[in-house]
Structure 1
Amino acid sequence: MSDGFDLAKLLEERAGERYELHARHLNHQLPRMLRTIGFDRVYERAEGAYFWDDEGGDYLDMLSGFGVMGLGRHHPVVRKALHDVIDASLADLTRFDCPPLPGLLAEKLLAHSPHLDRVFFCNSGTEAVETALKFARYATGRPRILYCGHAFHGLTAGSLSVNGEAGFRDGFTPLLPDTAVELGDLAALERELARGDVAGFVVEPIQGKGVHEAPAGFLPAAQQLLHRHGALLIADEVQTGLGRTGDFYAYQHEDGVEPDLVCVAKALSGGYVPVGATLGKEWIFRKVYSSMDRVLVHSASFGSNAQAMAAGLAVLSVIEAEQVVANARATGDLLRTRLAALVDRYELLHEVRGRGLMIGIEFGRPSSLKLRGRWTMLQAARRGLFAQMVVVPLLQRHRILTQVSGDRLEVIKLIPPLIIGEREVDRFVAAFTAVMDDAHDGSALMWDFGKTLVKQAIAGR
């Protein structure tokens, strides 16, 4: 057995080259972007809802790795489960056996989804969506998928076909036959269904881009329409599922909604191992896997691997034992209420919305002449620049990581680990208030940075 590889030594010797290595061998625009906005930090360790840089500064994570770190970083139960499964030296991925871990994880997931019957495991959210699209088309014998404007369902070819953001689709067409309807537009949905060629409608109960919730009553009404026309309801819970919105699934906020297919991923492994899952009804799976000849008609090389399954089992165990869903609901309500109380105080702050620990903070046109002029300057260069002006000082001055919710959106999205509490709420609200004070008082530092962003936006056109 070779003992020539020393990971700790390699990291010690080469970690200082991280930005250069990315610029040379990976996406060269990432380090360029991080340096431009002052996000080029060197993070050395992480635990729970915090990470620390090379100078010992602690940072509050309100992004949770785009939602994958639902339990925070390095949860001891999940970490132990992964050590245990590796130490067990299981005969993993033989492909011609039925190991217990996938069945056990499917059983636990389905216990939270009592109207569903079977699970397909894959490696990511976009693969979970791809699976749902394929299964819907095969089960119905129809080609077309409906989706919502501004939706995000992934970036592989099939899921990109139902992606509502043109910036992601440009240059990658033609894609699958598809049609967008606006979230909440039942009349448009019915018009498309009347054509008789729709396999399914894929929808995020709360859209990640901009944090827009489906209007009350839309999902149950859409479900009735779909079933009347022989089409399927596909719930994309990749970001909203596993407690994020204060229920195990976001569609559970509406009575009577029982999607035919549900996609989950992100937080299912606690951020350790890529994993995704598509849950569905018995008859759909029986149609797809209709004979022994079709046993591998849809499969994934690393799907159901032991590490992912063990992590998933540990995550669900922690969610139940530590009442994570209830905490997300209570802490989310506290954070949203305290932020909403600031709307009347700051004219640049337009709305605070969301559910649980998925919160959108939207900025809008101010009323005062001085601020209106600055706002207009930013909007003329590129929409979304003011939100970026807020995100940057939150990190640089207050060591809080957030994100702009989408391209050209004046919205910040908060999707922190579901384990945060009042301490983290206090820290975020204090920091956000300080940044808003700076913006409204005409802080030269903040608005000078805005001018820098304007120059870069104009140069990038």
Structure 2
Amino acid sequence: MTFDLARLMAGDADKYDLHDRYLNTQLVKVLRTIGFDRNYVRGKGQYLYDQDGQRHLDLLSGFGTFAIGRNHPTVIAALQQVLTGELPNLVQLDVSMLAGLLAQRLLGYMPGLDKMFFCNSGAEAVEAAIKFSRAATRRPRILFCEHAFHGLTYGALSLNGDKIFRTGFEPLLPDCTAIPFNSLERLEQELKRGDVAALIVEPIQGKGVNMPSDDYLPEAARLCHKYGALFVADEIQTGVGRTGRFLAIEHWGVDADMVLLAKALSGGFIPVGAVAVKKWVYDKVFDRMDRAVVHGSTFAKNEMAMAAGLATLDVLEDEKLIEHADAIGTEILADLSTFILKHEFVKDVRGKGLMIGIEFGTPRSLSLKAAWALLEQARKGLFCQLITIPLMKDHHVLSQVAGDAMNVIKLLPSLTITQDDRTWIRESFDAAIADSHRVPGAVWDLGKTLAGHSLRARAGAA
């Protein structure tokens, strides 16, 4: 019998029922509660299409994975060539031509870094960075920033600054120390102890789209080098063109000892992670012939992933998507910044390129203050759902809250978005935010419902 994927997917099974029964019941409850339980049947570029033919603008892009858009024909063609080429994949006691070519291409974007290590994901890249830092410096301690997100595997979770992800999994790795983001004073205090292997930091924090001060990253790198520690830039979300540069650290002229990549490098198809490293660090890890395989991963450097990475770089260059992200991102930031004066709830708009955060806060009007306080009392950060849910329901825009218990919505669209999409973003956010200022109103009826859910959930957990 011939395998027929289309027949399987067109069967009577409901995907939400399947996930409820066999996978993550809680996620299904969340999606159904907020009305995000859509049946998408196709993805193309920056758009998702549901079973009714409705087009949705995707401002989430798989947490940044689909930087070049969904189902790009160049990447599909590259993967088809691998599949039909009968390549000798994963021989293990051999080296991959495609991996060598991808390493060469990537390092061309990152002067000062000499070697590449490939893995399967961003979290694996973080795990490698922890090991490489300790091996290179012979020191135990890793510094990370509060509110950071570096992944959910055991080592990466030890560098995660969000309590909701850590709770229930402690104790985590020892010798991992959280410091405030943007605090050079605290960084130097820790470095002076002489036991720090590395600072691992997101140039722009994904959870909250928190921006560094202009001097923070260059000075943090200088201090690390002064005290014999490594400066590691986690560019898993910010890299590969997201912020209008290939790497976000380019905005501040930072010299990193390691750079971590993943997500967008995959072209949205095949999981891939990468660590760009200075040669002296790499040579401390792989220092003898009998240690040639002291760190690795079975599916790292597989031909599909390497081909996807090479094709993705071609798309970025051929379509000038990095330059486009810089230009249109600046325009969208300017559009959304006008809301600060126009709408009481909007407190800040920040970001670089196509990584943008809209922060909401306490309004001035008494009636709005009371409504805000109601939601904050039920659950901090709940207000953002009064924007994201109508954005989906009324404007067909998929967006996300930037982190747990925070009033920030993050925009992370594909770098392929157009001027028409820019208008779509501006007008839909303007309308949704304006509706949130009407108390009483339909949006605040939704707010009461969500607050009730939160209070019942809190009571149940007590």
> TM-score normalized by structure 1?
0.98
Deviations 1:66-105, CA, capped at 9 Å, x for gaps:
1000011011101110111111010100101112000000
CA contact (8 A) 2:380 2:405 kept: yes
Distance in 2, Cα, partners of 1:317 & 1:258 = 25
Aligned to 2:151: 154
Q: Secondary structure at the match of 1:13?
A: coil
Aligned to 1:10: 8
| Aligned positions of 1:160-171 closer than 5 A | 160-171=157-168
Q: Secondary structure at the match of 2:421?
A: helix
Distance in 1, Cα, partners of 2:439 & 2:273 = 46
Distance in 2, Cα, partners of 1:254 & 1:4 = 55
Deviations 1:149-203, CA, capped at 9 Å, x for gaps:
0000000111111111111111211222111111111111111111111000000
- What amino acid maps onto 1:339 in structure 2? L
Distance in 2, Cα, partners of 1:320 & 1:291 = 38
**1:315 and 2:312 are equivalent in the alignment:** yes
| Aligned positions of 1:170-319 closer than 5 A | 170-176=167-173, 177-255=175-253, 257-319=254-316
Matching residue within 408, 419, 429 for 2:426: 429
Which shifted more, 387-396 or 438-447?
Answer: 438-447
Aligned to 1:44: 41
Distance in 2, Cα, partners of 1:287 & 1:134 = 11
Distance in 2, Cα, partners of 1:187 & 1:419 = 40
Distance in 1, Cα, partners of 2:438 & 2:349 = 21
CA contact (8 A) 2:96 2:301 kept: no
Aligned to 1:66: 63
Distance in 1, Cα, partners of 2:379 & 2:120 = 35
Q: CA deviation at 1:442?
A: 2.7
Distance in 2, Cα, partners of 1:158 & 1:239 = 18
Aligned to 2:108: 111
Aligned to 2:51: 54
Distance in 2, Cα, partners of 1:384 & 1:150 = 15
Distance in 2, Cα, partners of 1:443 & 1:325 = 44
Deviations 1:289-323, CA, capped at 9 Å, x for gaps:
11111111100110000000000000001111111
Distance in 1, Cα, partners of 2:4 & 2:163 = 45
Q: Secondary structure at the match of 1:343?
A: helix
Q: CA deviation at 1:213?
A: 1.3
Q: Secondary structure at the match of 2:307?
A: helix
Matching residue within 127, 132, 137 for 1:135: 132
- What amino acid maps onto 2:218 in structure 1? P
- What amino acid maps onto 1:178 in structure 2? C
> TM-score normalized by structure 2?
0.98
Q: Secondary structure at the match of 2:409?
A: strand
Q: Secondary structure at the match of 2:395?
A: coil
Distance in 2, Cα, partners of 1:452 & 1:338 = 31
Q: Secondary structure at the match of 1:159?
A: helix
Distance in 2, Cα, partners of 1:53 & 1:222 = 46
CA contact (8 A) 2:201 2:234 kept: yes
Q: Secondary structure at the match of 1:82?
A: helix
Q: CA deviation at 1:214?
A: 1.3
CA contact (8 A) 2:115 2:277 kept: yes
Deviations 1:204-241, CA, capped at 9 Å, x for gaps:
00000110111111111111111111100000000000
Q: Secondary structure at the match of 1:220?
A: helix
Distance in 1, Cα, partners of 2:96 & 2:131 = 25
**1:362 and 2:370 are equivalent in the alignment:** no
Aligned to 1:396: 393
Which shifted more, 234-243 or 170-179?
Answer: 170-179
Q: CA deviation at 1:443?
A: 5.8
Q: Secondary structure at the match of 1:39?
A: coil
Aligned residues: 457
Matching residue within 83, 87, 91 for 1:86: 83
Distance in 2, Cα, partners of 1:434 & 1:191 = 47
Distance in 2, Cα, partners of 1:367 & 1:28 = 40
Distance in 2, Cα, partners of 1:117 & 1:412 = 37
Which shifted more, 277-286 or 4-13?
Answer: 4-13
Aligned to 1:384: 381
Percentage of pairs with the same residue: 50
Q: Secondary structure at the match of 2:341?
A: coil
**1:444 and 2:441 are equivalent in the alignment:** yes
Q: CA deviation at 1:441?
A: 2.4
Distance in 1, Cα, partners of 2:84 & 2:197 = 44
Distance in 1, Cα, partners of 2:72 & 2:439 = 42
- What amino acid maps onto 1:228 in structure 2? K
Q: CA RMSD of the aligned region, Å?
A: 0.9
Distance in 2, Cα, partners of 1:53 & 1:38 = 14
Distance in 1, Cα, partners of 2:397 & 2:298 = 38
Distance in 2, Cα, partners of 1:174 & 1:134 = 19
Aligned to 1:331: 328
Q: CA deviation at 1:6?
A: 1.4
